[in-house]
Chain A
Amino acid sequence: MDLIWLIPVLPGIGAALNGLLGIRYFSKPVAAAIACATMAAALILSIFAFAQLLGAEHREHVVTLGHWIPPIPLQTVDGLGAFQAPWAFRLDPLSGMMILIVTGIGFLIHLYSSSYMGHEPRGAYVRFFCYLNLFCCFMLTLVLGSTFLVMFVGWEGVGLCSYLLIGFWYHKKSAADAGKKAFIVNRVGDFGFVLGVFLIFFTFGTIDFREVAEAASHMPVEGAAFGVLSTICLLLFVGAVGKSAQIPLYIWLPDAMEGPTPVSALIHAATMVTAGVYMVGRNAVLFSHAPMVMTTIAVVGGVTALMAASIGLVQTDIKKVLAYSTVSQLGYMFLATGVGAFAAGAFHLMTHAFFKALLFLGSGSVIHAMNDEQDMRKMGNMKLYMPITYVTMFVGALAIAGVPGLSGFFSKDEILYRTFLASPLLWGLAVITAGMTAFYMFRLIFMTFFGEYRGPSWGHDAEGHADQKDGDHAADDHGAHAWHGPHESPTLMTAPLMVLAVGAAVAGYVGIPAALGGSNAIEHFLEPVYVAESAAHAEEGEHAVAHLSHAAELGLMAFSVLIAGLGIALAYHLYVRRPKRSEELAANWAGAHRVLTNKYYVDEAYNATVIKGTMSGARGLWAVDRNVVDGAVNGAGWLTRALAWVSHVLDKYVVDGLINLVAWICAEGSYVFRRGQTGLIQNYAVASLFGVFACVTVYLVVRFMG
């Protein structure tokens, strides 16, 4: 257990190897081997650690590697506190479960990717594994982190990797845009999260989860007033909303499907998007002291679940259906946490990780088989060509639909049951969502694997040689090999599918509810995480109160199963028996259909409000810049020029004028005298003669007249 710090470090080493050396030097198999090997090592380490944890008396273990930020004095609510952030990792039941999910599913997806990404050029292939390993590294940091700050490192790291992987095919504009969208939308949430962490430190003087929980448990429950705990929880929940794609920040997740399918499976279904749920669960003590925020979470979760499921009803892109399904299921998880059933949320998180990863990988297999075709309308009857994928995906669909006996049934019914206890209205929402979920999942299955084949034709070896020659040759040539029709994927891809199918089928048995004669083992396993140590006993007593009779619980269970069955039956009716009927329905309900197809125009609304607002705000600021700031500068410039002009005029007409006037006076005045300057020597002689004459005359006058 002291080696748990190695669990995140190992994928990090793989990422560093692949990223620093691999892109230049490694061949594809070497890169894939390094990535899978580090994940396998992390998985083994996780399993050992988990086993040790199960055997331990005190199920909590903290490993501190050293100081990241040494203690520095910072202001808190009561005097100066010491802000410190050690590199500390915490292994407890919740993080133990999470590392198993992350390393387990991560390992499978690494295996799957090594085949799925095989068509990529070598550099991109290595880069992909580098990102994927890096993601696992950060995700494990997030999960294992013992303080908010270490968690935040992982939190931001997975956001970064998500951005990198969504935009993996960065030369495609839609992919690059989707990456940016995910990153930017996540920033909104992260902002809330960071503010929450600040407030936590300010309030409690520490950012260690356990210490915060201890401190919070001694504070009164803020039932009536919206106090500091509620503020913290609301801010943290904003972060969770961003990361886990809830209303109103869910819009990035469907677009994130631009990334490669294994990425969708790992990041945008199984692990990263559940980080929000994990974080809320990790701070269960805080949240349970803020009932108003809990209500908010529950409502947001329920509405998100319903809304996303309804959009999923009409999507035709196979990955978009799964994306909205993911949003919907995440809504379920928040619904569970919102009503206080943290363990149920975590349980659903785990089962969802299995069946949603399975579904995504299955859809990836189908897409792979259909030569990168994602539109379900161009598929059909695929069960003929890829039986393994068909069977495994069918299991996954059954699981998510909540068919009894499979994992989804247990986790979902736990949520439904706890929701019913808290609020029948939310329960109604959740049940309708469950019906929709069953419908759209089986719509997906039926459209893809049943009916007639509706995709493009391909060249058979014997016939159709000619039309391949003249028609599709160029189009088929884009891959390394020509497309020879849908085919079963290689073993490296089907093996993870099978493993996950088994997981999706049996994972629920760790949490069989008491009503069915089980002991709900996982709930008891996780329970210590959700209560402060000192308050553990009190909480236990409280739980005993809120219980319906087993019969009522069974009734609820039966009702939800019935709803799911109805959904499946409807899907079967509309897409297998009478495929035309669905189109008629779409035509009859054109308005509703259009609204759903356009995802309630949420993207458009964001475009019209937030983006337009930002743009027009920027434009306004620009206008202010241009008119006021530039105007001031230009005005100053103009003023300077005007003054300079005045000065110039003054210079030119007054100063120069004076000088010119003097010169002019001299010139004009000298005109008279200049006339004497004829240049004629004789005139000068006349002048001197005049002088002599004058002298003689004077002499004459003086001598004889005087």
Chain B
Amino acid sequence: MAETIAFYTLSVLILGLAVLVVTAKNTVHSVVSLVMTFLCVAALYVVLEAEFLAVIQILVYAGGIVVLYLFVVMLVNVGRPPEEHRDPRRLSVLGLGLAGAMLLEVAGIVAYSYSRSTSSVTAPAGPSPVQGNTEELGWLLYTDYLIPFELASVLLLVAMVGAIVLARRDL
């Protein structure tokens, strides 16, 4: 029951904050909403018993990436409103409509499929006895997925170099 309450609360928070992120006029507000969203998602991870990912979410997303965004928002101190100019050929409304329609469709599909197969699928569901999720994930990453893991670190190095090069004054 606690899970249900947590899920709905967090869902409402996540979606509401996400809507704020997307709709805020002020970019800083948007960034703040984003941090909140990330924190809520981290909480949801905890509900889903993925503590490690929750920590990672807070450290990397809320602590790293969002700070990066904040920096950029501060650096890009535009004199005029950033969305003043609007290309008449943009298809914003169509995109909005399509996205909404797709959401409805996906929701429909999911709801219908689960309503048809609730009895069979939900049987094994329940709180998992798995404890020490972090240790197992560490085992997995350093054994089966060692090479992708190392590649990810190389990717990050490359991204770092690229970001530094792009941020140079003389570019």
**Interface of A toward B, CB cutoff 8 Å:** 675, 678, 680, 682-683, 685-686, 689-690, 692-693, 696-697, 699-700, 703-704
B87 on interface, CB distance cutoff 8 Å: yes
Q: Is the CB of B87 within 8 A of A686?
A: no
Q: Is the CB of A700 within 8 A of B95?
A: no
Q: Is the CB of A700 within 8 A of B87?
A: no
Instruction: Report the Cα distance A704→B94, complex, angstroms.
Output: 26
Knowing A692-B102, A696-B102, the reply to whether A686 touches B89 (Cβ < 8 A) is no
Task: Please give, as numbers and ranges, the residues of chain A lying within 8 Å of B112 by CB-CB distance.
Answer: 704
What are 6 sample pairs from A and B whose C-beta atoms fall under 8 A apart? A678-B90, A680-B89, A685-B95, A693-B105, A696-B105, A699-B109
B interface, by DSSP: helix, strand, loop or mixed?
helix
Task: Please give, as numbers and ranges, the residues of chain A lying within 8 Å of B90 by CB-CB distance.
Answer: 678, 680, 682-683
Task: Please give, as numbers and ranges, the residues of chain A lying within 8 Å of B92 by CB-CB distance.
Answer: 682
Q: Which one of A680, A693, A704 lies within 8 Å of B98 (CB-CB)?
A: A693
Q: Which one of B89, B98, B101, B108 lies within 8 Å of A678 (CB-CB)?
A: B89
Contacts A689-B102, A692-B102, A700-B109 aside, 7 further interface pairs with beta carbons under 8 A come to: A678-B89, A680-B87, A686-B95, A689-B99, A693-B98, A693-B105, A697-B105
B130 on interface, CB distance cutoff 8 Å: no
Instruction: Report the Cα distance A468→B112, complex, angstroms.
Output: 148
Instruction: Report the Cα distance A519→B89, complex, angstroms.
Output: 140
Q: Which one of B94, B98, B108 lies within 8 Å of A700 (CB-CB)?
A: B108
B75 on interface, CB distance cutoff 8 Å: no
Q: Is the CB of A693 within 8 A of B95?
A: no
Task: Please give, as numbers and ranges, the residues of chain B lying within 8 Å of A703 by CB-CB distance.
Answer: 109
**Interface of B toward A, CB cutoff 8 Å:** 87, 89-92, 94-95, 98-99, 101-102, 105-106, 108-109, 112
CB distance from B28 to the nearest CB of A (A): 23
Task: Please give, as numbers and ranges, the residues of chain A lying within 8 Å of B102 by CB-CB distance.
Answer: 689, 692-693, 696
CB distance from B7 to the nearest CB of A (A): 25
Task: Please give, as numbers and ranges, the residues of chain A lying within 8 Å of B94 by CB-CB distance.
Answer: 686
Instruction: Report the Cα distance A685→B92, complex, angstroms.
Output: 10
Task: Please give, as numbers and ranges, the residues of chain B lying within 8 Å of A697 by CB-CB distance.
Answer: 105
Instruction: Report the Cα distance A692→B99, complex, angstroms.
Output: 10
Instruction: Report the Cα distance A690→B94, complex, angstroms.
Output: 9
Q: Is the CB of A683 within 8 A of B91?
A: yes
Q: Is the CB of A696 within 8 A of B91?
A: no
Q: Is the CB of B95 within 8 A of A696?
A: no
CB distance from B33 to the nearest CB of A (A): 21
Task: Please give, as numbers and ranges, the residues of chain A lying within 8 Å of B109 by CB-CB distance.
Answer: 696, 699-700, 703
Instruction: Report the Cα distance A675→B92, complex, angstroms.
Output: 16
Task: Please give, as numbers and ranges, the residues of chain B lying within 8 Å of A699 by CB-CB distance.
Answer: 109
Q: Is the CB of A686 within 8 A of B91?
A: yes
Task: Please give, as numbers and ranges, the residues of chain B lying within 8 Å of A686 by CB-CB distance.
Answer: 91, 94-95, 98
Task: Please give, as numbers and ranges, the residues of chain B lying within 8 Å of A683 by CB-CB distance.
Answer: 89-91
Identity of the chain A residue whose Cβ is nearest the Cβ of B96 in the assembled complex: A686
Q: Is the CB of A678 within 8 A of B87?
A: yes
Identity of the chain B residue whose Cβ is nearest the Cβ of A687 in the assembled complex: B91
Identity of the chain B residue whose Cβ is nearest the Cβ of A692 in the assembled complex: B102
Task: Please give, as numbers and ranges, the residues of chain A lying within 8 Å of B89 by CB-CB distance.
Answer: 675, 678, 680, 683
Identity of the chain A residue whose Cβ is nearest the Cβ of B93 in the assembled complex: A686
Instruction: Report the Cα distance A663→B105, complex, angstroms.
Output: 44
Q: Is the CB of B87 within 8 A of A693?
A: no
Instruction: Report the Cα distance A699→B91, complex, angstroms.
Output: 25
Task: Please give, as numbers and ranges, the residues of chain A lying within 8 Å of B106 by CB-CB distance.
Answer: 696
Q: Is the CB of A700 within 8 A of B105?
A: yes
CB distance from B84 to the nearest CB of A (A): 16
Identity of the chain B residue whose Cβ is nearest the Cβ of A696 in the assembled complex: B105
Q: Is the CB of B95 within 8 A of A682?
A: yes
Identity of the chain B residue whose Cβ is nearest the Cβ of A675 in the assembled complex: B89
Task: Please give, as numbers and ranges, the residues of chain B lying within 8 Å of A685 by CB-CB distance.
Answer: 95
Identity of the chain A residue whose Cβ is nearest the Cβ of B102 in the assembled complex: A693
Instruction: Report the Cα distance A106→B149, complex, angstroms.
Output: 134
CB distance from A665 to the nearest CB of B (A): 24
Instruction: Report the Cα distance A365→B80, complex, angstroms.
Output: 121
CB distance from A433 to the nearest CB of B (A): 120
Task: Please give, as numbers and ranges, the residues of chain B lying within 8 Å of A680 by CB-CB distance.
Answer: 87, 89-90
4 shortest interchain CB distances as A-B pairs:
A678-B89, A686-B95, A686-B91, A693-B102
CB distance from B152 to the nearest CB of A (A): 26
CB distance from A704 to the nearest CB of B (A): 7
CB distance from A692 to the nearest CB of B (A): 7
CB distance from B116 to the nearest CB of A (A): 10
